[in-house]
Amino acid sequence: MTGRILVVDDVRANVRLLEARLSAEYFDVRSAASGAEALSVIASWPCDIVLLDVMMPGMDGFEVCRRIKSDPRTAHIPVVMITALDRTDDRIRGLRVGADEFLTKPVNDLALVARVKNLVSLKRVTDELRLRAQTGSQFGLVPEDGPSPDAEGRVLLVDDCASSSRTLFDILRQDCRVERESDGAQALITAAERGYETIVVNLGLKRYDALRLVSQVRALERTRLVPIILIADADDSARMMRALELGVNDCILRPVERTELVLRLRTQIARKRANDRLASDVEQTIAMATTDPLTGLRNRHYLKSHLARLVRQAGETELPLSVLMIDIDRFKSINDTHGHDAGDAVLKEVAGRLRANVRGLDMACRLGGEEFVILMPETTLSAAEKVAERLRDVVAGAPFALPEGEGWDLPVTVSVGVATHAKAGDSGEKLIKRADRALYRAKEEGRNRVVCCAESRVGPDTEDTTPRAPSHAGKRARAG
């Protein structure tokens, strides 16, 4: 994992220590020596997380955090306060201005890296939703209203210790609608069936592994975005760090302070509702305007707008971006021989196989006719080539069903062109053009193969296309 980290501290020695530790984990680290400088850097540099000292001359960390969280353009950026202040009142003050976490000096290296990786990973989910929602807004479409900010949150408490469960329940029910579950296996079923906005889990479950429950919640489609707050003992730091790696959103140490728990819970519920609104915008509001009705994939119009944003993002962050251009081989002969119903069935099945075999971060689109495009953020050329080869094999590996009960005996193959974003001045049109040229070479070389376009950087339109195909591809192509 990589990410962009801003370290804010007026003591240069503290900055150097954090820079060294985070750089060793391959994070891109920048620093600011004051609150004003930090706000200036954030405005021009899209960071993933802010590590913020509290005690600074002029503008202190509390005020910097308040300004970050009150600006809609930066409110989604996680803020971790690193401070020598360890009183409960200080944590509550930080939580009130929007801080996501507190680390006490001297900072434990393992705890720092675990929390930073966790927050960066969680932010990526929100970033992707925000990016797609921004694409949808270009069509003039508005998401449905979500729950009122003052509406009671729906919370599931998972705790098999009677005294602990009773204490936590009494705290939570003053602000939320709370349901209790003492059995971990049943809690997973309940969470999948009902729309909770946060799950609070006792790390010290006696009859079920709490970490396994966290992993299972994250694995289910219906619950993977539900925030999880872990209640833990201070001496269980190793399991807490493992929980962060598994995707827990927040951890609270015992003894639990009521106000702190309530504030952290409100933060998670607010974030869940914001993400739900973004997801609604993406999946419902713009669906009809941006979805290909036959295959259910994003259509050409959405592809153009979203690719432009991804290219701009790749230029700003210097992260890789790759594109696959996929074409069904000899598709005209399928229509001519078996009819257009068969052609439509093949298009839908190819789309389904593509969609089922790419990451959630990737996006499969139908460009038109028998051509498909897959956008792959944060993916290098070599990694995209491997994915392309896997997709080619997924399509060719099993015959396709024909309508009207004609059987599962129609062999279908695809050719794939692969290209990657070259530099900051590159455009989505040029990227698609290079992938299309590579696809044309794949067709020329015999179909049912992958050709990779390696950007030479001599010029924006200069490429070296080299066919890549498995040893059996030629035989398949001749047979098809």
Q: Which two tokens stand for residue 258?
A: 């009521």
Q: What is the CA radius of gyration of the chain?
A: 25
**Are the beta carbons of 123 and 76 closer than 8 angstroms?**
yes
The reported pLDDT for the residue numbered 267 is 92
pLDDT at 451: 95
From 101, 181, 197, 370, active-site residue: 370
Q: What are phi and psi of 284, to 5 degrees?
A: -115, -55
- Closest to 302 in 3D by CA, of 384, 366, 371: 366
**Domain residue limits, the chain:** 4-137, 153-283, 291-479
In this prediction, residue 376 carries a pLDDT of 95
Check if 4-137 and 153-283 are the same fold.
Answer: yes
Find, among 217, 199, 196, the residue nearest to 154 by Cα.
196
Q: Structurally, what CATH architecture does the domain formed by 4-137 represent?
A: 3-Layer(aba) Sandwich (3.40)
- State in words which class domain 291-479 has: alpha beta
Nearest 10 degrees: CA dihedral of 283, 288, 294, 299?
A: -80
Residue 286: per-residue pLDDT: 59
Q: How many CB atoms lie within 10 A of CB 320?
A: 17
Residue with tokens 């408490």, as numbered in its chain: 157
Angle between helix 35-44 and 61-70 (nearest 10): 30
Which ranges in 329-410 belong to alpha helices (H)?
331-338, 340-356, 381-396
Cα 436 to Cα 368: distance, rounded to the nearest angstrom = 13
144 in active site: no
CA distances from 428 to 314, 317, 374 (A): 11, 16, 13
Q: What b-and-e string marks burial along 33-44, b requiring 16 or more CB atoms within 10 Å of the CB?
A: bbbebbbebbee
Q: Which residues of 392-422 are buried (b: 16+ CB within 10 A; e: fewer)?
A: bbebbeeebebeeeeeeebebbbbbbbbbbb
CA distances from 281 to 253, 258, 268, 300, 360 (A): 36, 35, 20, 19, 17
Q: What pairing do the DSSP bridges indicate for beta strands 250-253 and 228-232? A: parallel
Distance separating alpha carbons of residues 302 and 304, to the nearest angstrom: 5
Residue 410 is given by DSSP the state E
φ/ψ (deg, to 5) at 232: -140, 160
* 151-190 tens-digit pLDDT: 789 999 999 999 999 999 999 998 899 999 999 999 999 9
Instruction: Please spell the DSSP secondary structure of 201-215, one letter per residue.
Output: EETT-SSS-HHHHHH
CATH architecture of 153-283: 3-Layer(aba) Sandwich (3.40)
Helix, strand or coil, per DSSP, at residue 369: coil
For residue 243 the two structure tokens come to 């929980």
Q: Which residues pair with 466 in a beta bridge?
A: 452
Which H/E stretch holds residue 416?
strand 414-420
Q: Which parts of the chain register pLDDT below 50?
A: 456-480
Alpha helices in 8-108 (DSSP H): 12-23, 35-44, 61-70, 88-96
Grouping H, G, I as helix, E, B as strand and the rest as coil, residue 20 is helix
pLDDT of residue 127: 85
